[in-house]
Amino acid sequence: MQVVITGGAGFLGQRLARQLLKQGTLPDNNGQIQTITKIVLVDIVAATGFTDPRIHQITGDIADSKLLELAITPETVAIFHLAAIVSGQAETDFELGMRINLEAARLLLERCRQCAHRPRVIFTSSVAVFGGELPPVVQDNTALNPQSSYGAQKAIAELLLNDYSRKGYVDGRVLRLPTISVRPGKPNKAASSFASGIIREPLSGESAICPVGPDVKLWLLSPRKVIACLIHGYTLTAEALGKSRTINLPGVSVTVGEMVAALERVAGAEVANRVEWQHDPAIDRIISSWPGAWDAKRANALGFTSDASFDDIVRAYIEDDLPAA
């Protein structure tokens, strides 16, 4: 069985690849457990540190249909499409966001349609598809009204994947991810980068700037749970999804102030005091347009699970990633 991961050199892509190598199998479209023989990582740069012969790497532009022809073949059974331009960058570089977040998704689906073997395709979407006037808790049937180009591009990719699935060209699933915290590594250009930075940097003895106020509410999920949700989403049957392929993943709703309080509970006051509050209106505008919580009952009924608390998320980071940091 052959698997493709776009954005395969990214933090989630690499972690997903390692998990798939470890478990070694996935069900096929008929529910039969198959051995994974090949995982193709597609990204603009190569991932380093993989020595397993099942890993193949293709580097290049994901919005180039020639590259997609190399990556996706009639043998491809599973596609995890994680490649994206993050929210802050898609807002400042409109053309790049449109090309990677929208055009590449469309070309990937077209490649699948031309291959005519109906692969199972997982897209990741985001809290950023919501915005404008929102109920306190977003529901499965709340209208999308993105207030960022990233959110608009993700919402469009959702619609494309749903229609290509309805037509039978792919068997798609869209997982709307909460903001991921705590991401390991360096800050990135996502507006939500601070949601990891205010935990990660203090735990490494560095100060971190929080660009939004302590009352701003976020909907969060740990990397560990995101990987579990990606694989669980893959294993669901098409019948279980009914007339919508889009699933709001479960998460933990906390204010930024509560996040820092959790850090203090887990790691002490000295660590938590390394967070500096310095308002950034451009980041605040995007973050405040996102929902701080949504109703995850459909996801829960489908068997997805979230972290138990933000304290648990901090502890998971300390366990999984701090030693390497």
Nearest residue (CB) to its own copies, 143 versus 325: 143
Binders of its own copies among residues 30 to 69 (CB under 8 A) are: none
Contact yes or no for 292/128 (Cβ under 8 A):
no
Nearest residue (CB) to its own copies, 94 versus 300: 94
* Annotated catalytic residue, options 150, 169, 234, 317: 150
Nearest residue (CB) to its own copies, 53 versus 133: 133
Does the protein bind its own copies through residue 141 (CB under 8 A)? yes
Query: From the CB of 306, what's the least distance to its own copies, in Å?
Result: 22
Question: Cα separation of 87 and 266, whole Å?
Answer: 30
Task: Pick from 143, 240, 282, 325 the residue near its own copies by CB under 8 A.
Answer: 143
Active site residue 234: no
Extract long-range pairs of 94-101: CB within 8 Å, 24+ residues apart. 94/149, 97/149, 97/150, 97/153, 98/149, 98/153, 99/63, 100/62, 100/63, 101/150, 101/153, 101/154, 101/157
Task: Pick from 19, 147, 253, 288 the residue near its own copies by CB under 8 A.
Answer: 147
Nearest residue (CB) to its own copies, 223 versus 291: 291
CB contact set of 161 (below 8 Å; sequence gap of 6+): 105, 109, 121, 123, 170, 172, 173, 174, 245
Query: From the CB of 316, what's the least distance to its own copies, in Å?
Result: 32
Find the angle CA(7)-CA(222)-CA(324) to the nearest 5 degrees. 75
Question: Cα separation of 167 and 160, whole Å?
Answer: 11
Which residue type sits at 45? V
Query: From the CB of 53, what's the least distance to its own copies, in Å?
Result: 39
Taking residues 230 to 259 in sequence order and writing x for each that binds its own copies by CB under 8 A, - otherwise, the string is: ------------xxx---------------
Active-site amino acid positions: 150
Chain residues binding its own copies by CB under 8 A are 94, 131-133, 135, 140-147, 149, 152-153, 155-156, 159-160, 162-163, 166-167, 242-244
